[in-house]
């Protein structure tokens, strides 16, 4: 697709599990089966993290329940040398990239660091402010291009982020300099409580690519097969040096924004119920069962692996953190300022007085 074009929404498997069209572009059965396994793990991770919030083991959790196909596909299409730039809602994507889910969750427990090594994992820290990670993602992609590397950057954001200035600046820079970045907008219909209709009057979020000279692609965000095809092509295009692609994934946030949110104040229950049959796990399971690729034995194996992962998360998050107040002053400057040293000394003296 050339710059300035926006295609109709791509879908390969419908809500019943049936193939849409002739199925010529459908990923191989083995890839879909592995994708389903990843979806099962992602759903179980969401459920476990929400349970940890209720137990007081996590401070907050923005669930991607219902959006797991976007999470899994975004990670699966990347090479080991590529980068993922996630938001606070993309825990499942980071875990799908291969980062230990315990490490991914420590930030949401309240630790001061992101929990994993961004350079070693090629996953940027989760960004809580909307869209601030997008210029960073473009910078990494642009730097790789200047160095002659074939690195591709997958930049994740939600529909709310497309209303931010950072989104515009990142898209414009990436387009002008042909940065190897794939912008994946998970359009889950709400920016916390603000519906999409109050965020944008554009025909679609993918249509915004026209103004930047970037191809815009709409895809069913609950169809793992379609997401895999669209994102794979966008990554390949970026790696060929043909610049960025803006992908809008049509999906829905089934659960609340976070545990601190009451969605009944801004959306009706019947709206949520309409989306439940479109669940990404249900449709891919139906497809794989019909084709005979998913057997009861494999389903049991996937479920057991998900439970093992959940047990690992519970064990990892069950202990109490050992906090050192002196870390408040660490890593702020390479050489602490006189004021910082003074404040650190004052806190140390006060703590010693309390302990004595």
Does residue 252 carry a catalytic annotation? Answer: no
Q: Tell me which of 266, 276, 331, 341 is the catalytic residue.
A: 266
Question: Which of the following is catalytic: 43, 97, 218, 253?
Answer: 253
Annotation says 266 is catalytic? yes
Among candidate residues 257, 278, 283, 287, the one labeled active-site is 257
Both tokens of 152, joined, read 């591709």
Q: Is 255 a known active-site residue? A: no
Active-site residue set: 253, 257, 266
């Amino acid at each position: 697709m050339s710059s300035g074009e926006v295609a109709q929404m791509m879908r390969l498997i419908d809500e019943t599990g049936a193939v849409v069209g002739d199925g010529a572009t459908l990923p191989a059965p083995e890839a879909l089966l592995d994708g389903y396994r990843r979806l099962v793990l992602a759903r179980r991770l969401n459920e476990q993290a929400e349970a940890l919030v209720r137990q007081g083991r996590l401070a907050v959790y923005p669930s991607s329940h219902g959006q797991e196909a976007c999470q899994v596909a975004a990670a699966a299409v990347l090479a080991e040398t590529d980068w993922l730039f996630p938001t606070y809602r993309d825990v499942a994507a980071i875990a799908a990239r291969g980062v230990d889910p315990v490490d991914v969750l420590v930030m949401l427990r309240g630790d001061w660091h992101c929990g994993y090594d961004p350079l070693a994992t090629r996953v940027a820290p989760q960004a809580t402010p909307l869209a601030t990670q997008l210029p960073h993602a473009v910078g990494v992609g642009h730097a790789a291009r200047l160095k002659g590397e074939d690195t591709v950057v997958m930049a994740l954001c939600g529909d709310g982020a497309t209303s931010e200035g950072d989104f515009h600046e990142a898209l414009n820079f990436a387009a002008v300099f042909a940065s190897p970045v794939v912008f994946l907008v998970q359009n889950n219909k709400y920016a916390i409580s603000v519906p999409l209709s109050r965020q944008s009057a554009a025909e679609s979020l993918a249509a915004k690519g026209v103004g930047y000279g970037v191809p815009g692609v709409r895809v069913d965000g609950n169809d793992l097969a379609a997401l895999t095809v669209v994102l794979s092509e966008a990554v390949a295009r970026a790696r060929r040096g043909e610049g960025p692609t803006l992908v809008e994934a049509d999906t829905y946030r089934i659960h609340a924004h976070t545990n601190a949110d009451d969605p009944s104040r801004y959306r009706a229950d019947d709206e949520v119920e309409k989306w439940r049959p479109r669940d990404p796990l249900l449709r891919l399971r139906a497809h794989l069962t019909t084709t005979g690729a998913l057997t009861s034995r494999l389903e049991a194996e996937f479920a057991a692996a998900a439970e093992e992962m959940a047990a690992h998360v519970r064990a990892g998050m069950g202990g109490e953190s050992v906090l050192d107040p002196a870390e408040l002053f660490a890593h702020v400057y390479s050489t602490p300022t006189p004021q910082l040293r003074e404040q650190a000394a004052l806190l140390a003296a006060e703590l010693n007085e309390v302990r004595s």
